[in-house]
Amino acid sequence: MIGAFKSTNQRARVVAEGIATAIHEHRLAPGMKLIEDEVGEIYGVSRTIVRSALQSLSHEKLVEIEPNRGAFVARPSVRDAREVFEARALLEPRTAHSAATRTTPADIELLKRHIEEEHAALDAEEVGRALRLSGNFHIEIARIANQATIAAFIGQLVARSSLIIALYWRRRNALCESHAHHALLDALARNEADRAEELMTSHLVDLVSLLDLTEPPVEPTSLKEALGAE
């Protein structure tokens, strides 16, 4: 339960962060309904606070709020998926380039811990947690680049990627390949900016290759259409 001393905004933020983490870790599936009363009971807060949390998550494209139906975990389309990874391909390689020019030993130690925790999660078969840690690795690189606006945008894209992976992943036992993050870490530690940019580009291409982004067949909209009646 969230302490009574916290402000309404703080409480809403805690609820939003809890829901977001559950989405990143695939404990909440795309399309799942988020019932306000149930969420409020879980966190010990009012429906007003829950609504505020859900609204903030809708701005981040993690939740969809439908009139007269309620809030649902977002379900990105194939087009959404392509656009998200195209945006990541535009931003993250250059961000990795910038990060490599300013990486400190403390940054390298932090990234090493991310990789170690990701591997520990995989060994424990906690795939959702490993996925969240993998995404955080990318967000940390954006932080190191010291580009706050771009880092915030990358954070949103990584969050949406969690939903996309939940829906479209073809190889559920293959997260970010371990050698890709190790190679990036090495390039950052050596301040090899061009190499870091190249590695990030190829890494994102590999991630997309793990997704099945073929367009689904168009479903009939009526019985007449389905039966081919004139």
Query: Domains in the chain and their CATH numbers?
Result: 10-74 (1.10.10.10), 78-209 (1.20.120.530)
CA distance 16 to 136: 17
pLDDT of residue 47: 93
Burial class (CB in 10 A: 0-12, 13-18, 19+), 220: exposed
Reported pTM: 0.79
Burial class (CB in 10 A: 0-12, 13-18, 19+), 69: exposed
CA 81 to centroid of chain Cα atoms: 12
pLDDT of residue 5: 44
Q: Are 145 and 151 in contact (CB under 8 A)?
A: yes
Length of the chain: 230
The pair phi, psi for residue 97, each rounded to 5°, is: -60, -50
Local confidence pLDDT in tens for the 230 residues of the chain: 455 445 888 999 999 999 998 888 888 889 999 999 999 999 999 999 999 999 999 998 899 999 989 999 999 999 999 999 999 999 999 999 999 999 999 999 999 998 999 889 888 888 788 888 888 999 999 999 998 999 999 999 998 998 898 888 875 544 555 689 999 999 999 999 999 999 999 999 988 988 888 866 555 555 455 555 44
